[in-house]
Structure 1
């Protein structure tokens, strides 16, 4: 794991997250997820690879005006995988969506999967980003 001791024992939160039946989690549309920003709703949610984590317990880092607020209320897979606080245009000059990591190479996927491990150790999984019509419907839970 890139974010700490590789020999860490799984946390209680990690063990609970590992037992979750993803198919039975509440589904949130992108619009619904965007409301979990500490203003519209009191909770702070961050999604990675479609799984939604409740980061409210660390609201000091995620509230408005703080560095990690950019990740709140959305699937931030692209931002986390590219280690960026801002979406950047791709080679075609288009700015991909914050959740789109379909063009990631091995390096970005490793970084993204390290973030999944980091979040899974610290924050409860509370939902799944709903499948859009043009989506393949797959949720990648590998970490």
Structure 2
């Protein structure tokens, strides 16, 4: 009975400790309480407001002449525009191809219609007289016009039309 009496005394002692609250703060209980409080904090803390992506500036459709289109060649932080059959396309997303140092860089800021139709990057394909009439492309054959139409369709699928190319003096009539 001695053993049983000792055991009863131990249980009674533990019961008294629990009643007094001393045994609740064991290292394991403190750790568990900390984990529970941290979980509640993480769950209930206010989150940062969602941020919307920055909107790109609006591009206004405008009328260009060969001279006013020329600065849009991708240099000095300018966007890259080129014209095909009177439509001005913003090809800035394709800056690697159309911007400075790109394969088609000579078309940037210019009317690229004849060069694209003839599959030529030569300077003679570009409009020389920036204040003269636009190239009518009337001397191109059926194959060249079809090639130009294919290029124009690619540009329409991929790039934004930002304006119309007209001859000098025709700005108000466009």
Pick the TM interval, shorter chain.
Answer: 0.5 to 0.7
Q: 1:82 aligns with which of 118, 133, 155?
A: 118
TM-score (ref. length: structure 2): 0.55
What per-residue deviation string (whole Å, max 9, x for no partner) do you get for residues 99-140 of structure 1? Answer: 621211111100000000010000000000123459xx89xx
Please give the residue correspondences for 1:57-68 in structure 2 after superposition, counting only pairs within 5 Å: 57-68=93-104
Does structure 2 retain, via aligned residues, the 8 Å contact 1:33–1:45?
A: yes
Work out the number of aligned pairs and report it: 107
What per-residue deviation string (whole Å, max 9, x for no partner) do you get for residues 56-111 of structure 1? Answer: 011111221211101110111000000000145xxxxxx77376212111111000
* RCO comparison, higher one (Cα < 8 Å, 6+): 1
TM-score (ref. length: structure 1): 0.66
**Stretches of structure 1 lacking an aligned partner (at least 5 in a row):** 1-23, 89-94, 139-143
What per-residue deviation string (whole Å, max 9, x for no partner) do you get for residues 8-60 of structure 1? Answer: xxxxxxxxxxxxxxxx9410111110000111551000100010000001111
Give the Cα separation in 2 of the matches to 1:115 and 1:37. 19
Give the Cα separation in 2 of the matches to 1:59 and 1:96. 19
Give the Cα separation in 1 of the matches to 2:88 and 2:127. 17
Aligned CA-pair RMSD: 2.5
Give the Cα separation in 2 of the matches to 1:60 and 1:67. 8
| Higher Rg | 2
Higher-helix-fraction structure: 2
Q: 2:73 aligns with which of 13, 16, 37?
A: 37
**Stretches of structure 2 lacking an aligned partner (at least 5 in a row):** 1-59, 129-133
